[in-house]
Chain A
Amino acid sequence: MTKDNTRQQMLSPVRINSVEEIAPGAFLLSFPRNFSFSAGQVLKIALGEHDSPRMYSICSGENDPEITLLFNVKAEGSLTPHLSLSRPGDTLYTSLPFGSFSGDRHKAWWIATGTGIAPFYSMLRSGLDEGKTLIHGVRSLNQFYFESELMETLGERYIRCCSREQGGKVFPGRVTDYLSRLVQFPEESKYYLCGNGMMVVEVRDMLIGRGVPFTNILSEIYF
């Protein structure tokens, strides 16, 4: 990132185009794209100009006409319950994109839990899917967001893990359970991890323990 981070994170108003519940408690929010970004970058979002903003990965592709954000409603949260009730035309405050969890054309594994799929979906929609394997862990089968498109694009390189329900070709268990059964991990591959901090730390430790250089692991943690 070369631009001043402070300026990048100042909030400006945008008009919401749509808010759609795509799975129970999970929403996709969109607004017009009036800036360019690199897939994997984040935005700061708030409903009021002076509210304390939260960070979300951009979910849409670099050339999509709209910016979309994927979020779960956290019942006790100060933002998402209100965000989920927003209507087209409502005002949302957003920063410019920032962050360097950026995809490239190298061979890589994308490993996500829950809404941590967002930056990888953005990378995929930005044409960075070649040579990528995506492992997505969720609790319920209906949390495999964008499943059809991911299956169509990635085929066998799209691995779904579900810890509380079983179905079809879905691996029954957590991402770490799936990874622990693999015989080897390509050392030359890059590994991108995105999701809750505990998953990221556990997967990172597992990869390092199995011989992957830590310099090949890039993590993004929700905070």
Chain B
Amino acid sequence: MKQPLFGLTLEELAAIARSLDMPAFSARQMAGWLYARRVGSIDEMTNLSKKARFLLNEQYEPGISQPVKVQVSADGTKKYLFSTGSGKFVETAMIPEEERITVCVSSQVGCKMGCLFCMTGKQGFQGQLTAGEILNQVRSIEEAGRVTNIVYMGMGEPFDNLPEVLKSLEILSAPWGYAMSPRRITVSTIGIIPGMITFLEQSEAHLAVSLHSPFDEERKMLMPVQVAYPVTEVVREIRKWDFSRQRRVSFEYIVFRNLNDTDRHVRELARLLNGLSCRINLIRFHPIPGTPLKGTDDHTLQQFKDKLNERGILTTIRASRGQDIYAACGLLSTKELSS
């Protein structure tokens, strides 16, 4: 079986070049073809010798795959479905805005984390994505080449697949890769502290943390990860890092009716995040089958936002996009899995 080249770092490409007796500079040439020029075959790498292309073709393939399905929302949002083999699928969302095209990538097939409000969790964990499979979600969509921002907020927990996520971040930001500013990339976690520390040390990308409740007992019911990594400890670790300059940290907060939308929550959030340079993104809940949770109404949501802002916590409401195309992450792939 041929090994994919797409998703390899410059160091890994150099190792391949050495093993095939290719000149050392051919690693950069391969990287250029794979990432900057987005070629679909080894034969298109025309500045490599014919012999090198022949040898590469014997053992390697580009490793690019096209989406198997695309859904387009009335608001322009698209949901792409990629097959990862053996009947498994991952979702990628493309969200167009005025000046921006944001792509939301998946980092795992399914998820282990079992958050109560998440459809992906209901699929269980089915496998890790390679760096190539993560990047392919940016490379193989119709908007490839015009993407301005990338968020790791699709299926899976990025820090449960840290080596491949870090590799994909390296390729996205390296001059020999996509040369993208890490300030245009956000990685979202539910708060796996050791992975988060490694990410903060090794990447310059922005961090987003799924918060959803500032109270230990309540968050435990929503997110089993709280049992091992309480959010107070997550915030304590974040305080050790400088987010007052270009790098940003934000907290995602899905607002559930009569659960986490009270004045008590406003006060505790303000206490938890006091003095930290950050933002809270309030998110409307899109109900998933069988959930006991309900989204809060717009009036309460607005009030909740205003109260947090009054307490000095910069808070915004994230616009809901693509509601007509299984917008909630995991819905489309679950439907495809069961069909």
Question: Nearest CB to that of A211 among chain B residues?
Answer: B292
Excluding A5-B233, A6-B193, A223-B157, 6 further A-B contacts by CB distance (< 8 Å) are A99-B227, A100-B216, A198-B125, A201-B122, A217-B221, A219-B224
A208 to B228, Cβ gap below 8 A?
no
In the assembly, what is the distance between CA of A4 and CA of B221, in Å? 22
A55-B228, A100-B216, A215-B221 as given contacts; A221 in contact with B193, CB under 8 Å: no
A214 to B292, Cβ gap below 8 A?
yes
* Among all A-B residue pairs, the 5 with the closest Cβ atoms: A198-B124, A5-B233, A219-B224, A197-B112, A101-B227
A197 to B292, Cβ gap below 8 A?
no
A139-178 Cβ-contact flags toward B at 8 Å (1 or 0) = 0000000000000000000000000000000000000000
Question: Nearest CB to that of A55 among chain B residues?
Answer: B228
B236 to A5, Cβ gap below 8 A?
yes
A109 within 8 A of partner (CB): no
B227 to A205, Cβ gap below 8 A?
no
A201 to B124, Cβ gap below 8 A?
yes
Q: Which residues of A contact B116 (CB under 8 A)?
A: 204, 214
In the assembly, what is the distance between CA of A98 and CA of B237, in Å? 16
A129 within 8 A of partner (CB): no
Question: Nearest CB to that of A208 among chain B residues?
Answer: B292
Identify which of B218, B233, B236 gathers the most chain A CB atoms within 10 Å of its CB: B233
User: Which residues of B, 106-128, contact A by the 8 Å Cβ criterion?
Assistant: 111-114, 116, 121-122, 124-125
The tally of residues in B whose CB lies under 8 Å from a CB in A reads: 32
A5-B236, A201-B124, A205-B290 as given contacts; A223 in contact with B113, CB under 8 Å: yes
Choice from B216, B224, B292 contacting A200 with Cβ under 8 Å: B224
B224 to A221, Cβ gap below 8 A?
yes
A135 within 8 A of partner (CB): no
Q: Which residues of B contact A62 (CB under 8 A)?
A: none
B220 to A218, Cβ gap below 8 A?
yes
The tally of residues in A whose CB lies under 8 Å from a CB in B reads: 30
A94 to B: closest C-beta gap in Å: 15
A197-B125, A218-B220 as given contacts; A6 in contact with B237, CB under 8 Å: yes
A197 to B113, Cβ gap below 8 A?
yes
In the assembly, what is the distance between CA of A91 and CA of B292, in Å? 47
In the assembly, what is the distance between CA of A204 and CA of B79, in Å? 29
A–B Cβ pairs within 8 angstroms, 26 of them: A5-B233, A5-B236, A5-B237, A6-B233, A6-B237, A9-B193, A98-B228, A100-B216, A100-B226, A101-B227, A197-B111, A197-B113, A197-B121, A201-B121, A201-B124, A204-B114, A208-B290, A208-B292, A214-B116, A218-B221, A219-B114, A221-B112, A221-B113, A222-B112, A223-B112, A223-B160
A100 to B230, Cβ gap below 8 A?
yes
Question: Nearest CB to that of A219 among chain B residues?
Answer: B224
In the assembly, what is the distance between CA of A205 and CA of B291, in Å? 8
Q: Which residues of A contact B192 (CB under 8 A)?
A: 223
Identify which of B113, B193, B218, B227 gathers the most chain A CB atoms within 10 Å of its CB: B227
A42 within 8 A of partner (CB): yes
Choice from B112, B122, B197 contacting A205 with Cβ under 8 Å: B122
B124 to A5, Cβ gap below 8 A?
no
In the assembly, what is the distance between CA of A35 and CA of B292, in Å? 40
User: Which residues of B, 152-193, contact A by the 8 Å Cβ criterion?
Assistant: 157, 160, 192-193
B288-302 Cβ-contact flags toward A at 8 Å (1 or 0) = 001011000000000
A9-B194, A197-B114 as given contacts; A220 in contact with B221, CB under 8 Å: no
Q: Which residues of B contact A42 (CB under 8 A)?
A: 228
B192-220 Cβ-contact flags toward A at 8 Å (1 or 0) = 11100100000000000000000010101
Question: Nearest CB to that of B157 among chain A residues?
Answer: A223
A200 to B230, Cβ gap below 8 A?
no
Identify which of A5, A98, A200, A218 gathers the most chain B CB atoms within 10 Å of its CB: A5
